[in-house]
């Protein structure tokens, strides 16, 4: 084989390799910034009532990405901060924010009645829902989602706090648990990852 023919074949081979590589580059998805937990065998569903009294499961929100957070309304810091951050992430999505459902599961159903949740949760975002159940139902749901919480002993006035993780879980529009956001995750990071889930 002469030199000119060898160079031509090498060049053609290089172009073919580049052509084959282009689709895989175009299909490569931007990585999540939160913790990707796709495929875990826990946190598959819940069955709780919302603050309007309607029974809810994940199937009710099919077609939307879901942000799920466990807390309680008497929480002095992490809960209001996290709910505000969830609302900000939805706001950052613009029109796509309508395709995200924020859910707040109370870990303190004794004090967090439907009426209390109905005032508290929508104050952060009008479309967010508060969820509650019996003590046993809440404990079971938290356990299903690997969430630790512990009610502390009440003080002399009867006031008590609930220790809990300040994590947000995200589901894709097909209802699959996909992401774990730690308490200090910024709203911009949550919004970034929601955009990927909504694609």
What pairing do the DSSP bridges indicate for beta strands 35-36 and 100-106?
unpaired
First to last CA, the chain: 50
Distance CA 38, CA 156 (A): 45
Q: Is 74 marked within a binding site?
A: no
Task: Return the DSSP state at 62.
Answer: T
Q: Is 79 marked within a binding site?
A: yes
Distance CA 141, CA 144 (A): 5
Q: Is 164 marked within a binding site?
A: yes
For the CA atoms of 174, 176, 182, 188, the dihedral, rounded to the nearest 10 degrees, stands at: -20
Residues comprising the binding site?
A: 75, 79, 164
Residues comprising the binding site for Cu cation?
A: 75, 79, 164
């Amino acid at each position: 084989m002469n030199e000119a023919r060898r160079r031509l074949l090498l060049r053609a081979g290089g172009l073919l390799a580049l052509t084959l590589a282009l689709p895989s580059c175009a299909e490569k998805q931007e990585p999540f910034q939160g913790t990707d937990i796709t495929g875990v065998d826990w946190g598959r569903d819940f069955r709780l009532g919302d603050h309007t009294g309607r029974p809810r499961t994940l199937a009710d929100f099919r077609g939307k990405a879901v942000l799920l957070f466990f807390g309680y309304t008497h929480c002095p810091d992490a809960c209001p901060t996290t709910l505000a951050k969830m609302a900000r992430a939805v706001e950052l999505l613009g029109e796509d924010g309508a395709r995200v459902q924020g859910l707040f599961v109370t870990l303190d159903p004794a004090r967090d009645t439907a009426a209390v949740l109905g005032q508290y949760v929508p104050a952060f975002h009008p479309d967010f829902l508060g969820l509650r159940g019996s003590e046993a139902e809440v404990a079971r749901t938290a356990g299903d989602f690997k969430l630790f919480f512990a009610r502390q002993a009440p003080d002399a006035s009867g006031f008590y706090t609930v220790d809990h993780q300040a994590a947000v879980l995200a589901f894709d529009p097909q209802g699959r648990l996909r992401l774990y956001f730690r308490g200090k995750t910024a709203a911009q990071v949550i919004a970034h990852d929601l955009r990927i889930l909504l694609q």
